[in-house]
């Protein structure tokens, strides 16, 4: 175990009745890391967070914190604080009283508490809100108060369970930048749960993609997006063209009956594979200049780009481009070899949710 591993989850399993939510999960979280647990509803991400926080006990496995086993330790004895999607502010208390709640339980002095309230409010850009009531605040402001209430307790780890889910799009984006700033200023570890891919890619140092109680892939946002390890990750993170193909030999793949140059090696000869090509990595060129030819069948304006479907070799290719090509036009499709991602094809449905060795 390296020095900067703050939390280590070892062989964590959890079931509710016959429903296996986590199956032999292993994961470590480094000090000062912003780690996001990302996946669809029911994938086990919130259960993982609750086990770290002490709100759930695993059926088996260990939670190691700074080298000590805290698996059976109650939440109030862990150096962690949690911010939930529902802000859970006390509506009958002022903002100052809400923030001070945990400190009063710890019997801190009045001066210490007042200093901490001012510090926390300044940190979340809500100076002077001490005497306001929660119902006079917007959703974004209430969420900031919930974060302020957590950070005054000086946790080593802040757990965030879909904290921006109830906010509108613009507010959510603003709060993403706020959370990044807070993490950098506080120098503490953030463990964040979301099903929102953009949130995960925007804020995280490390993204853990989960599905069906298993970890599908761990990596930086760039790795997860550009080098998905299976079709689930490729499909869940952003939009993708996922194409059943045949790896002819190293650096050559047959996609829908046409040979494409690629850069991948080690997949064998004439082996079935899945190919991932991101929509923004497809260039629409003159028909004679493309690797294959197709016809534009649909067109949508998305603000920063046009989204088009091009039917080529019997498949609808999703294309994102800043250049408009009208519906009905014949085009060539060109893909740079570096933008073709080759993945092993699972032999069965079960293999699509295999746990990775980490």
pLDDT, tens digit, 9 for 90 and up, residues 166-225: 778 887 888 888 889 888 888 899 999 999 998 999 999 999 999 999 999 999 999 999
Confidence of residue 163 (pLDDT cuts 50, 70, 90): confident
* Rounded alpha-carbon distances, angstroms, from residue 200 to 106, 107, 208: 34, 37, 9
Domain 242-347 has CATH 2.40.50.140: yes
Q: Residues of the chain with pLDDT > 70: what percent?
A: 95
* Mean pLDDT to the nearest integer, 114-130: 90
Where in the chain are the domains? 5-226, 242-347
268-280 per-position pLDDT tens digit: 999 999 999 999 9
DSSP 159-175: EEESTTTTS-HHHHHHH
Band (pLDDT 50/70/90 cuts) for residue 87 is low
- The predicted model gives 303-318 an average pLDDT of 97
- pLDDT, one tens digit per residue, over 150-162 is 888 888 999 999 8
User: Using only C-alpha atoms, what is the Rg of the chain?
Assistant: 24
The CB density around residue 64, as the number of other CB atoms within 10 Å, is 17
Torsion of CA 51, 56, 58, 59, to 10 degrees: -170
DSSP assignment string, 54-79: TSS--SEEEEEETTEE-TT--GGGSS
Look at 348 and 115; give whichever has higher pLDDT.
115
Give the pLDDT band (50/70/90) at residue 89: confident
pLDDT for residue 358 is more than 70:
no
pLDDT at residue 46 greater than cutoff 70: yes
- 26, 10 in Cβ contact below 8 A? yes
- Region 23-44: mean pLDDT is 95
pLDDT, mean of residues 315-322: 97
Q: Quick one: pLDDT at residue 173?
A: 84
Work out whether strand 60-65 and strand 5-16 pair parallel, antiparallel, or are unpaired.
antiparallel
pLDDT bucket at 355, cuts 50 / 70 / 90: very low
Report yes or no: 146 and 163 within 8 Å, Cβ to Cβ: yes
The residues near 225 (Cβ < 8 Å, ≥ 6 apart) are 201, 237, 238
Please give the CATH architecture assigned to the domain spanning 5-226.
3-Layer(aba) Sandwich (3.40)
Per-residue confidence (pLDDT) for residue 3, from 0 to 100: 57
pLDDT at 1 over 50: no
Name the average pLDDT for the chain: 91
User: Which pLDDT score, from 0 to 100, does residue 85 have?
Assistant: 66
pLDDT of residue 84: 75
Helix, strand and coil percent figures for the chain, each rounded to 5: 30, 35, 35
* pLDDT of 265: 96
Please determine, for residue 356, whether its predicted confidence score (pLDDT) is greater than 50.
Answer: no
Of 101-110, 168-177, 205-214, 312-321, give the lowest mean pLDDT range.
168-177
């Amino acid at each position: 175990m390296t020095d900067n591993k703050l939390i280590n989850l070892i062989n964590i399993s959890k079931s509710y009745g016959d429903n296996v939510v986590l199956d032999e999960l292993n994961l470590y979280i480094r000090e000062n890391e912003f780690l996001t647990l990302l996946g669809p509803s029911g994938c086990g991400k919130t259960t993982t967070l609750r086990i770290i926080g002490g709100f759930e006990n695993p059926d088996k496995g260990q939670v190691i914190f700074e080298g000590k086993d805290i698996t059976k330790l109650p939440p109030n004895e862990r150096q962690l604080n949690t911010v939930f999607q529902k802000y859970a502010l006390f509506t009958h208390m002022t903002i100052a009283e809400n923030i001070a709640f945990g400190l009063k339980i710890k019997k801190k002095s009045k001066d210490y508490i007042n200093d901490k309230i001012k510090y926390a409010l300044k940190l979340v850009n809500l100076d002077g809100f001490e005497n306001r009531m929660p119902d006079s605040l917007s959703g974004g402001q209430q969420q900031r108060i919930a974060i302020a209430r957590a950070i005054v307790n000086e946790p080593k780890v802040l757990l965030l369970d879909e904290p921006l889910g109830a906010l509108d799009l613009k507010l959510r984006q603003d709060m993403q930048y706020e959370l990044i700033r807070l993490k950098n200023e506080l120098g503490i570890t953030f463990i964040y749960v979301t099903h929102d891919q953009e949130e995960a890619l925007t804020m995280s140092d490390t993204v853990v993609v989960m599905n069906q109680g298993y970890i599908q892939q761990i990596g930086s946002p760039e790795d997860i997006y550009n080098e998905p390890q299976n079709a689930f990750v490729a499909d869940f993170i952003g939009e993708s063209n996922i194409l059943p193909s045949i790896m002819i030999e190293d650096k050559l793949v047959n996609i829908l009956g046409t040979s494409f140059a690629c850069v991948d090696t080690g997949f064998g000869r004439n082996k079935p594979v899945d190919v991932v090509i991101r929509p923004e990595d497809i260039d629409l060129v003159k028909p004679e200049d493309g690797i294959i030819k197709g016809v534009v069948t649909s067109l949508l304006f998305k603000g920063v780009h046009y989204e088009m479907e091009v039917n080529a070799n019997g498949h609808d290719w999703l294309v994102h481009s800043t250049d408009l090509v009208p519906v009905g036009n014949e085009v060539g499709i060109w893909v740079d070899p570096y933008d073709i991602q080759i993945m092993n094809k699972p032999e069965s449905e079960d293999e699509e949710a295999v746990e990775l060795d980490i």
